[in-house]
Amino acid sequence: MIGDFYKPKVRLPGGAGSAALVPTAKRVIVWRAKHSPRIFVDKCDFITACGNVEKVVTPLCIFDNKSHRLELEYLFLYTILEEIKEKTGFYVNKPKQGYFAEPTDEELEVLRKLDPEKVREIEF
């Protein structure tokens, strides 16, 4: 929702099963197909699900959530810190680990075998 809990400006569709799944999972890695200030806001009016979210992966970077506040862990090779800062609605630190390494040929081969129909590319 957007706005006050008892009198929201807008009611959104919800988080599917995330309110039940996220708190019970031992490890959660969230994937976002877009990275924008509308998605990565500084303050939320309502949280649908919280729990063991360890990482948030976007097309630009990987955030770590160990401190219960998203902190930039890795940049992807095709992006720069300024772009991430522009597209994020909260303070973005320098990456803790630098750039994320490209997958090896062996890793790509395993991915091709696991996902021969390229379902992973549907969101792009």
Return the H-helix or E-strand segment holding 108. helix 105-114
CA 94 – CA 108 distance, rounded (Å): 28
* Domain count along the chain: 1
Range of the domain at 90: 2-121
Q: Say which CATH number the domain at 66 has.
A: 3.40.1080.10
pTM confidence score = 0.78
pLDDT value of position 101:
92
Which residues are 62's β-sheet partners?
57, 74
pLDDT at 59: 93
Across 81-105, average pLDDT = 95
CA angle in degrees (0–180, nearest 5) for 66-2-53? 15
> In whole numbers, what is the pLDDT of the chain averaged over residues?
88
Q: Note the pLDDT tens digit of each residue in 18-60.
A: 777 888 888 889 889 899 999 999 988 777 777 789 999 999 9
Binned at pLDDT 50, 70 and 90, residue 115 comes out as: very high
